[in-house]
């Protein structure tokens, strides 16, 4: 069972250099978020070379374009073909520096709620994306979102639905991302979890949210993480665990400033290590 990695989504208030220093101090890996890189291609490559030279373990990628169809957070461009091309460009960029890693993706949604259209076209486009990723030595990890985001950012509101789409895509480089914040309330999750094609696990803690971006530090909410992580170990998952906290539009935002988000990360690392030792023993 790996130690925790930090998503650059979580560390939004920090600079890239602060991200690296925090990971080094806490012994964490780092999930890169492309939107935190410069939009100038030459400068972005310099930043990625700097990350590689730091020695910090990079676990996964959040591409700038996350979805095949538009999403509420990124409605433009609207054409799935254009968004596919952007995702392929992200594969090209990151494969130069971190081959073998997974890029996380969501389906997006159709403005008229046509889930069948999104399903059919996503399967087709994901096959193309997975084949391109395979040529570059990369992986694609499909994530189901929470029911509250249905037909806004995704047509997949359960982990089992993401697994069904992955089976339909049927490409070796195409697998799954399990976001426990989004999926923990699925009553069938514990019974249906397995490690097949599971490339990455993301986590944060849950309280009844006051905004769409109101995730909490690990240990500060209601998710039964010990039981879920124990199940993941039992089914043979040996991949990375990534802390992904969104926190804005609330009075106690964890993105308030750098010290606040650093404290939330520190609490999460301690809580995760406690869970980890509870599962694997004190010498894990």
| pLDDT value at 46 more than 90 | yes
**Nearest 10 degrees: CA dihedral of 257, 263, 264, 270?**
160
Q: Check pLDDT > 70 for residue 198.
A: yes
Mean pLDDT over the full length of the chain: 96
Q: Supply the pLDDT for residue 108.
A: 98
Q: What class has domain 4-279?
A: alpha beta
List % helix, strand, coil for the chain (3-state, nearest 5): 40, 15, 40
d(CA 45, CA 144): 30
For the segment 145-152, the average pLDDT, to the nearest whole number, is 92
Place 91 in a pLDDT band, splitting at 50, 70 and 90.
Answer: very high
Specify the pLDDT at position 220. 97
Cα–Cα distances in angstroms (integers) from residue 93 to residues 5, 8, 61, 64, 139, in the given order: 21, 17, 11, 11, 13
Residue 156 has pLDDT above 90, yes or no: yes
Confidence at 282, pLDDT banded by 50, 70, 90? confident
Q: Is 160 strand, coil or helix?
A: helix
Give the bridge partners for 141, in sequence order.
Answer: 104, 175
- Show me where the domains of the chain are located: 4-279
Cα torsion through 247, 252, 255, 258, rounded to 10: -160
**What's the mean pLDDT in 120-147?**
98
- What's the confidence (pLDDT) of residue 283? 65
Query: 137 falls in which pLDDT band (50, 70, 90)?
Result: very high
Confidence check: pLDDT of 236 > 90: yes
Q: Quick check: 284 pLDDT over 80?
A: no
């Amino acid at each position: 069972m790996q130690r925790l990695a930090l998503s650059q989504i979580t560390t939004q208030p920090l600079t890239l250099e602060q991200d690296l220093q925090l990971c080094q101090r806490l012994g964490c890996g780092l999930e890169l978020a492309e939107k935190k890189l410069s939009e100038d291609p030459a400068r972005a490559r310099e930043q990625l070379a700097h990350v590689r030279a730091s020695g910090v373990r990079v676990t996964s990628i959040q591409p700038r374009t996350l979805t095949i169809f538009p999403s509420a957070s990124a409605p433009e461009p609207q054409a799935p073909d254009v968004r596919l091309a952007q995702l392929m460009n992200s594969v090209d960029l990151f494969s130069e520096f971190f081959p073998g890693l997974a890029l996380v993706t969501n389906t997006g949604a159709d403005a008229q709620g046509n889930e069948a259209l999104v399903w059919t076209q996503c399967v087709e486009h994901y096959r193309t994306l997975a084949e391109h990723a395979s040529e570059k030595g990369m992986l694609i990890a499909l994530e189901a979102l929470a029911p509250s985001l249905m037909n806004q950012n995704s047509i997949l509101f359960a982990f089992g639905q993401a697994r069904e789409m992955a089976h339909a895509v049927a490409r070796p480089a195409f697998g799954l991302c399990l976001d426990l914040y989004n999926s923990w309330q699925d009553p069938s999750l514990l019974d249906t979890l397995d490690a097949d094609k599971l490339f990455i696990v993301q986590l944060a803690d849950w309280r009844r949210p006051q905004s769409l971006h109101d995730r909490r530090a690990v240990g500060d909410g209601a998710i039964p993480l010990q039981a879920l992580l124990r199940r993941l170990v039992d089914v043979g998952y040996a991949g990375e665990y990534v802390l992904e906290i969104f926190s804005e539009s609330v009075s106690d935002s964890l993105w308030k400033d750098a010290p606040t988000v650093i404290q939330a990360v520190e609490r999460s690392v301690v809580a995760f290590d406690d869970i980890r030792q509870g599962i694997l023993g004190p010498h894990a």
